[in-house]
Amino acid sequence: MGGGRTRRMPRAERERQMLDAAVEIIARHGYTAASMDEIAELAGVSKPLVYLYLNSKDDLFTACIRREAAALTEAVRAAVRPNLPADRQLWDGVQAFFTYTAEHPDGWTVLHLQARTHGPRFAAEADAMRAEMTAFVTRLIATAALESPHSRDLSTREIEGLAAALIGAVESLADWTNTTPTATAAQASATLMNFAWSGLGNLMSGNRWAPPGAASAARP
């Protein structure tokens, strides 16, 4: 990249390069070990310019988390059409989720792991996104339950637990896809639906799992 072209680059574009570099370095080394020198070098700018644009390492991290959360949330939102059946909405949503996280593995690492473990300020940013995803899934499960005569007795607490389980399954499958060389977003989506929605479908049909010899114990 020539010096002349570098100087003419608009601020938004320059900032995007800094965030790209920061996400990559933070995902690779962890936030604490990530060095502003390395981030500046990867972005092709001077370290003082990073501080001029983003103010501090903490502010840079916050900007990374916000950008990645907004992009992932927007990818899912754009894929889901609220007028379709609940399982179709979930299918479209998880496909978009796994496609996005597979294409942005460093962004996913920053959001899922780094943001949650370096103090409440950063955790709050990631929690907001996770809460939005959980609310989306909770609403889908509640909608499906209302439509089934066998599952109207699912308690709010139980639906919240099921949503927490589903979100955890999605997060773990995103990690699995990103660390298993031949796994794909399409496979992760199919596995999630086979695992989760079939289980929920059983539940909606009134078929609860029960431990042997204690037929009611699996009912919270």
**Which residue ranges make up the site for a second copy (CB under 8 A)?**
29-33, 85, 87-88, 91, 113-114, 116-119, 157-158, 160-162, 164-173, 175-176, 180, 182-184, 186-203, 207-209, 211-212, 217-220
Minimum separation from the CB atom of position 47 to a second copy (A)? 21
Listed in order, strand segments (DSSP E) in 53-174 are none
Query: What's the token pair of residue 203?
Result: 């539940």
Helical segments of 180-213, H only = 185-192, 198-204
Cα 209 from Cα 25, distance rounded (Å): 45
**Nearest CA-CA partner of 14 in 38, 56, 46, 57:** 46
Minimum separation from the CB atom of position 84 to a second copy (A)? 8
Length of the chain: 220
CA distance from start to end of the chain: 61
- In the chain, what's the furthest Cα-to-Cα distance? 77
Residue closer to a second copy by CB (options 14, 118) is 118
Minimum separation from the CB atom of position 44 to a second copy (A)? 26
Residue closer to a second copy by CB (options 28, 49) is 28
Q: What is the DSSP string of 102-125?
A: HH-HHHHHHHHTGGGSS-HHHHHH
Residue closer to a second copy by CB (options 52, 135) is 135
Residue closer to a second copy by CB (options 18, 166) is 166
- Hey, how many other C-beta atoms are within 10 angstroms of the C-beta on 148? 15
Minimum separation from the CB atom of position 77 to a second copy (A)? 19
Residue closer to a second copy by CB (options 7, 216) is 216
Minimum separation from the CB atom of position 3 to a second copy (A)? 36
Minimum separation from the CB atom of position 69 to a second copy (A)? 17
Query: What's the token pair of residue 75?
Result: 């990818």
Residue closer to a second copy by CB (options 28, 77) is 28
Cα 88 from Cα 94, distance rounded (Å): 10
Q: Are 43 and 54 in contact (CB under 8 A)?
A: no
